[in-house]
């Protein structure tokens, strides 16, 4: 680009070359003549040198003209320009040897230019370097030196040696008489840019633009302002600006630098450069600045809006992109008056949308859809684009928008009938795909409005009725289906479906009367289906009864009436299935009315029906079992359960179920329990069964030994059963091996059983020590009995120490009581001993002092023991736990705890806990009559939580061992809202 500009400047420096213009023919003739003259002329001739220079100038000019022709003709094989150029180079090289450089400077630059054009740029560089090297020795003029620096900079720039080129440009600019200073500055800015000195390059460009006197070009008319060069500078400044973040400052400066007459084109170029280099936001700002120009044509404004839309979209400003496209559409609607131009603009906007669609074909988005909406609104007659927009909306799941596109096609008066039909059906298809009832209804109504007698009108009416049905508007749906069913013009299959669905609607609404009426009408309207609809009519009665039976809010009056109707119903000719339904409903109503007799009879009648499935039979038996359980009639529940097959239930679970019912009925469950274990019953259920086998056994000790290895997996359960067996048998010796099991080491049974003997030992010892008296008949007898008493007191201390091993509050209190009371008695007995006779008063006093001294340890021990007793009575939580256990344990254990409570009550104490013990012992005991009464109450009111809780409490204390857990399960079901 630069060499062409430079070549023009160089040629302009040769006065001969610009002296005249001639045709190609004249030029060839002159060159031939000069070549002949020179061939005959002697070099010493004074005219030889100017003639030689004239020939070289003409060859250079012809080479330039031929080169331009070759370029225009795209002739790569043409060699005319190159031959002339090489001849001229040879002549100029010879001339330089003969002339003074300062006097013939233009020859130098013309030679360098020709070498460059001939592909000999290295020679041109070498030429300039030689001139600059010899400048001082040959006293070369500043003009030639300055121009050599700038020309050398140009050649180095073309070789991408920007740093070296920049150095020569900077040196050239130091010369005041430098020609083409503006171009040198321009090239220097490009060097800075390529050397990553962006800010310096921008400053250089801006500095050049601030000096309009440098933006000139020399031609035949002299030096004049060069608008082309000016535009080139400003366009390149746009590139410079776009290499760094563009701010409003750069945009304002750029606009100020731009000549008014080309400002809008330059702004458009600036926006394009910003867009090209990825500054989308800045590009959008520049486009907006461009659009502020009031001189823009409609086409320019519309084109700018389209470009702005694209830039904003590329920059992620999707909403702005759509807004800009919308503005373009507004511009079109407002200002487009010329039909031919409007058509072209429409094509432009259509191209934008289709190109956008192509780029987003795999992943359409809201911006693409909005573009179609804007286009369709602007060009409503373009049905093809509307259908494309509908497809985009449909693919995006925007079914309402897709329907809007289709409707714009079907409502357009210019649309062809086939296209309109397709649009109507596509709208319905889209609405159905959306599964949105509002959209579906709108599509159906629109079809019937546009084509009330269309090919699909009956089907559309059916779909509308079905839509109403799906919305559970059974009242309107039933009427619509009834009309369709009775319309003989419709397809038979849709009429039949309509009839069935109308009856279904009535059934949903429980309109049994209307259902029966319509069913009889359909039996006449559809002869082939008369049996089906007749059966439906007969079932209407059953359905009315079922509705009442299933109505949780139905009154007893309605239920009683319903039960009476079923008992009187004429079932002659009824199928087994209808009878099954009758007895099923009868059992439900009877159960709700607590009519036990009808409830059981209806279930028995149900089981007597032929063809009743095994599953239903099993279910009915299960209901009878549940009924007996509800009444706590476990015997009948067990006997009924024996008839069940329990399919789907494991054998172990079946035997467990039967065994539990037999156990609760006080029948022998042992066989069922053993079968359950033999069938593989595992876990906690198996251990519970084993515990029951132990307690039901005539020899519980032996059975416990047999079951102990498995029961040991639940140490707590083993502990409980061991205590119950001991309480029942008292066979401590027989339980020795069980008590020695490691699983019971941290349990209460070993200690509890062991302490029973300790209690007996303490009571026996207490009686023995209490019987001992001091003998004062003689000194020897007295001494002997005192020693015996002391020995007994030591034994009491040993008993107290032994009590601590049990960590039992009763054992400690019993032992402490013996220690405190007997030590206190010892003190009193010693003090009461008679004084020996014949002692003086002083000796008597001394004797008494000795007795007091000897009794002091016993006094201290008695007081300490009494204090410890008092502390235990007041503070020990074990006494409170004992009281709790006494009120909740099974009767077998309770008799042992009662003994323990009696021992505590017999001890002297004024504490609150002592009073509580006495109160607990004095409370009345529960009787068997109390339990029987409570069971009857629950049988009469099976869901009364309070009664169940009361019975559970009684069963825990004196009733069946399984009843508490059974009643707890019933309470849980009631709390969960489940019926028994």
pLDDT tens across 720-733, in order? 999 999 999 999 99
Question: For the ranges 597-606, 804-813, 970-979, which has the lowest average pLDDT?
Answer: 970-979
Residue 4 binned pLDDT confidence (cut-offs 50, 70, 90):
very low
Range picked from 26-35, 38-47, 142-151, 564-573 for highest mean pLDDT: 142-151
Distances from the Cα of 18 to the Cαs of 10, 217, 254, 866, in angstroms?
Answer: 11, 16, 38, 145
> What is the pLDDT at residue 980?
46
pLDDT(15) > 50:
no
Residue 393 binned pLDDT confidence (cut-offs 50, 70, 90):
confident
Range picked from 213-227, 284-298, 330-344, 779-793 for highest mean pLDDT: 779-793
pLDDT(255) > 70:
yes
Question: For the ranges 532-546, 559-573, 609-623, 844-858, which has the lowest average pLDDT?
Answer: 559-573
Beta-carbon contacts of residue 821 (< 8 Å; ≥ 6 apart): 862
> What is the pLDDT at residue 79?
54
pLDDT(937) > 80:
yes
**Tokens standing for residue 793:** 């007191």
> What is the pLDDT at residue 481?
92
Beta-carbon contacts of residue 125 (< 8 Å; ≥ 6 apart): 152, 155, 156
Residue in the structure block whose two tokens are 């009834």: 482
pLDDT(840) > 90:
no
pLDDT(304) > 90:
no
> What is the pLDDT at residue 108?
63
> What is the pLDDT at residue 367?
82
Question: For the ranges 99-113, 150-164, 565-579, 762-776, which has the lowest average pLDDT?
Answer: 99-113
> What is the pLDDT at residue 569?
64
Question: For the ranges 71-80, 438-447, 829-838, which has the lowest average pLDDT?
Answer: 71-80
Residue in the structure block whose two tokens are 């204390």: 957
Q: What is the DSSP letter of 212?
A: G
SS3 content of the chain, % helix, strand, coil (to 5): 75, 0, 25
Cβ atoms within 10 Å of 232's Cβ, excluding its own: 16
Largest CA distance in the chain: 195
Half-sphere exposure of 800 (CA within 13 A, CB side): 20
> What is the pLDDT at residue 790?
94
Pairwise pLDDT comparison (325 vs 824), residue with the higher score: 824
> What is the pLDDT at residue 23?
72
> What is the pLDDT at residue 573?
57
Pairwise pLDDT comparison (269 vs 91), residue with the higher score: 269
**Tokens standing for residue 911:** 């504490």
pLDDT(164) > 90:
yes
Question: For the ranges 183-192, 237-246, 317-326, which has the lowest average pLDDT?
Answer: 317-326
- CB-neighbour burial class of residue 871 (10 A; exposed 0-12, middle 13-18, buried 19+): exposed
What is the rounded CA–CA span in Å between residue 446 and residue 424? 8
What is the rounded CA–CA span in Å between residue 180 and residue 731? 131
Distances from the Cα of 610 to the Cαs of 8, 617, 623, 645, in angstroms?
Answer: 119, 11, 19, 18
Residues 379-395 have a mean pLDDT of: 85
User: Is 637 within 8 Å of 625 (Cβ atoms)?
Assistant: yes
**Tokens standing for residue 528:** 């082939």
pLDDT of 426-485, one tens digit each? 988 898 888 889 988 898 888 888 888 888 888 999 999 999 999 999 999 999 999 999
pLDDT of 656-688, one tens digit each? 999 999 989 999 999 999 999 999 999 999 999
Residue in the structure block whose two tokens are 């359909």: 522
Residues 116-134 have a mean pLDDT of: 76
User: Is 783 within 8 Å of 790 (Cβ atoms)?
Assistant: no
What is the rounded CA–CA span in Å between residue 389 and residue 372? 5
> What is the pLDDT at residue 346?
76
pLDDT of 518-549, one tens digit each? 987 898 899 998 878 877 877 887 777 787 88
Kindly state the percentage of the chain with pLDDT values over 70. 88
> What is the pLDDT at residue 762?
96
- CB-neighbour burial class of residue 94 (10 A; exposed 0-12, middle 13-18, buried 19+): middle
Residue in the structure block whose two tokens are 């005249």: 20
Question: For the ranges 47-56, 455-464, 598-607, 651-660, which has the lowest average pLDDT?
Answer: 47-56
Residue 810 binned pLDDT confidence (cut-offs 50, 70, 90):
very high
Distances from the Cα of 272 to the Cαs of 268, 283, 308, 880, in angstroms?
Answer: 6, 7, 10, 94
Q: What are 820-824's contacts with CB under 8 Å, separation 24+?
A: 820/861, 820/862, 820/863, 820/865, 820/866, 820/869, 821/862, 822/769, 822/770, 822/792, 822/793, 822/796, 823/793, 823/796, 823/858, 823/859, 823/861, 823/862, 823/865, 824/858, 824/859, 824/862, 824/866
Residue 703 binned pLDDT confidence (cut-offs 50, 70, 90):
very high
pLDDT, mean over the chain: 84
3-state secondary structure of 165: helix
End-to-end CA, the chain: 101
Among 253, 359, 248, CA closest to 309: 359
What is the rounded CA–CA span in Å between residue 850 and residue 840? 15
pLDDT(717) > 90:
yes
pLDDT(2) > 50:
no
User: Is 465 within 8 Å of 477 (Cβ atoms)?
Assistant: yes
> What is the pLDDT at residue 201?
93
Range picked from 446-450, 780-784, 796-800, 831-835 for highest mean pLDDT: 796-800
> What is the pLDDT at residue 7?
35
What is the rounded CA–CA span in Å between residue 49 and residue 94? 10
Residue 131 binned pLDDT confidence (cut-offs 50, 70, 90):
confident
Residues 807-831 have a mean pLDDT of: 93
What is the rounded CA–CA span in Å between residue 783 and residue 56? 167
What is the rounded CA–CA span in Å between residue 923 and residue 867? 30
């Amino acid at each position: 680009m630069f060499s062409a500009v430079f070549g023009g400047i160089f040629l302009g420096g040769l006065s001969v070359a610009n002296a005249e213009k001639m045709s190609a023919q004249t030029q060839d003739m002159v060159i031939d003549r000069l070549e002949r003259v020179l061939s005959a002329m002697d070099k010493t001739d004074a005219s030889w040198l100017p003639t030689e220079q004239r020939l070289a100038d003409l060859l250079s000019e012809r080479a330039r003209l031929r080169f331009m022709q070759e370029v225009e003709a795209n002739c790569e094989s043409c060699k005319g320009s190159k031959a002339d150029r090489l001849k001229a180079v040879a002549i100029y090289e010879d001339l330089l040897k003969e002339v003074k450089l300062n006097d013939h400077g233009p020859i130098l630059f013309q030679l360098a230019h020709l070498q460059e054009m001939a592909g000999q740029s290295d020679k041109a560089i070498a030429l300039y370097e030689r001139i600059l090297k010899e400048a001082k020795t040959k006293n070369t003029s500043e003009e030639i030196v300055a121009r050599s620096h700038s020309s050398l900079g140009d050649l180095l720039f073309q070789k991408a040696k920007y740093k070296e080129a920049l150095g020569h440009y900077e040196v050239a600019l130091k010369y005041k008489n430098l020609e083409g200073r503006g171009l040198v500055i321009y090239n220097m800015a490009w060097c800075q840019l390529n050397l990553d000195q962006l800010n310096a390059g921008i400053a250089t460009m801006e500095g050049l633009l601030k000096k309009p006197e440098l933006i000139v070009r020399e031609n035949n008319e002299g030096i004049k302002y060069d608008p082309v060069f000016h535009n080139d500078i400003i366009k390149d400044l746009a590139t410079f600006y776009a290499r760094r973040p563009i701010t409003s400052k750069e945009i304002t400066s750029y606009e100020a630098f731009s000549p008014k007459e080309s400002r809008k084109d330059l702004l458009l170029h600036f926006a394009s450069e910003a867009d090209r280099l990825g500054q989308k936001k800045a590009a959008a700002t520049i486009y907006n600045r461009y659009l502020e120009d009031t001189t823009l044509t409609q086409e320019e404004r519309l084109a700018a809006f389209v470009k702005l839309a694209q830039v904003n979209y590329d920059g992620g400003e999707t909403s702005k992109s759509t807004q800009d496209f919308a503005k373009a559409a507004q511009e079109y609607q407002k200002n487009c008056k010329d039909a031919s131009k409007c058509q072209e603009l429409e094509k432009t906007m259509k191209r934008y949308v289709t190109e956008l669609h192509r780029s987003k074909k795999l992943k359409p988005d809201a911006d693409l859809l909005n573009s179609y909406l804007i286009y369709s609104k602007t060009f409503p007659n373009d049905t093809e684009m509307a259908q494309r927009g509908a497809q985009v909306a449909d693919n995006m799941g925007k079914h309402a928008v897709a329907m809007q596109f289709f409707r714009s096609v079907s409502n357009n008066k210019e649309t062809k009938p086939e296209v309109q039909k397709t649009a109507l059906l596509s709208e319905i298809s889209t609405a159905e795909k959306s599964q949105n009832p509002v959209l579906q209804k709108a599509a159906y109504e629109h079809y019937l409005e546009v084509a009330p007698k269309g090919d699909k009108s009956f089907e559309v009416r059916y779909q509308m009725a079905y839509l109403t049905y799906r919305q559970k508007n059974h009242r309107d749906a039933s009427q619509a289906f009834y009309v369709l069913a009775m319309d003989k013009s419709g397809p038979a299959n849709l009429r039949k479906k309509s009839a069935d669905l109308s009856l279904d609607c009535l059934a949903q609404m429980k309109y049994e009367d209307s259902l029966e009426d319509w069913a009889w009408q359909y039996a006449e309207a559809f002869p082939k289906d008369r049996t089906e609809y007749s059966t439906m009519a007969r079932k209407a009665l059953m359905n009315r009864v079922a509705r009442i039976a299933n109505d949780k809010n139905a009154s007893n009056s309605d239920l009683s009436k319903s039960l009476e109707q079923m008992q009187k119903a004429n079932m002659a000719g009824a199928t087994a299935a209808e009878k099954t339904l009758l007895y099923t409903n009868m059992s439900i109503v009877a159960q709700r009315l607590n009519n036990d007799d009808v409830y059981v009879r209806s279930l028995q009648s149900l089981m007597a029906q032929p063809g009743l499935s095994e599953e239903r039979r099993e279910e009915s038996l299960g209901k009878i079992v549940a009924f007996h359980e509800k009444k706590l009639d476990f015997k009948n529940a067990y006997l009924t359960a024996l008839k069940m097959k329990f399919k789907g239930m494991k054998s172990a679970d079946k035997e467990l179920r039967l065994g539990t019912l037999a156990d609760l009925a006080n029948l022998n469950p042992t066989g069922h329990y053993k079968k359950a274990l033999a069938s593989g019953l595992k876990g906690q259920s198996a251990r519970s069964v084993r515990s029951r086998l132990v307690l039901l056994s005539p020899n519980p000790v032996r059975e416990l030994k047999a079951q102990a290895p498995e029961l040991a997996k639940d140490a707590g359960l083993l502990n409980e059963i061991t205590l119950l067996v001991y309480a029942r048998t008292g066979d401590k010796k027989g339980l020795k091996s069980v008590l020695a099991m490691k699983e019971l080491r941290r349990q209460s049974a070993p200690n509890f059983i062991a302490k029973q003997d300790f209690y007996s030992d303490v009571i026996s010892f207490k009686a023995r020590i209490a019987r001992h008296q001091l003998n004062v008949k003689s000194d020897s007898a007295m001494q002997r009995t005192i020693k015996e008493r002391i020995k007994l007191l030591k034994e009491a201390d040993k008993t107290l120490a032994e009590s601590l091993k049990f960590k039992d509050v009763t054992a400690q209190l019993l032992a402490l009581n013996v220690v405190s009371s007997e030590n206190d008695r010892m003190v009193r007995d010693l003090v009461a001993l008679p004084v020996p006779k014949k002692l003086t008063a002083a000796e008597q006093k001394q004797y008494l002092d000795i007795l007091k001294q000897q009794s002091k340890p016993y006094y201290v021990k008695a007081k300490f023991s009494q204090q410890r007793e008092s502390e235990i009575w007041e503070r020990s939580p074990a006494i409170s736990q004992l009281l709790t256990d006494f009120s909740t344990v099974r009767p077998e254990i309770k008799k042992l705890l009662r003994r323990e409570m009696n021992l505590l009550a017999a001890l002297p104490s004024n504490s609150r806990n002592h009073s509580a013990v006495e109160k607990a012992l004095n409370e009345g005991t529960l009787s068997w009559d109390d339990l029987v009464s409570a069971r009857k109450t629950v049988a009469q009111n099976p869901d009364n939580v309070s009664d169940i809780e009361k019975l559970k409490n009684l069963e825990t204390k004196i009733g069946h061992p399984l009843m508490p857990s059974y009643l707890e399960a019933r309470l849980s079901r009631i709390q969960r809202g489940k019926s028994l």
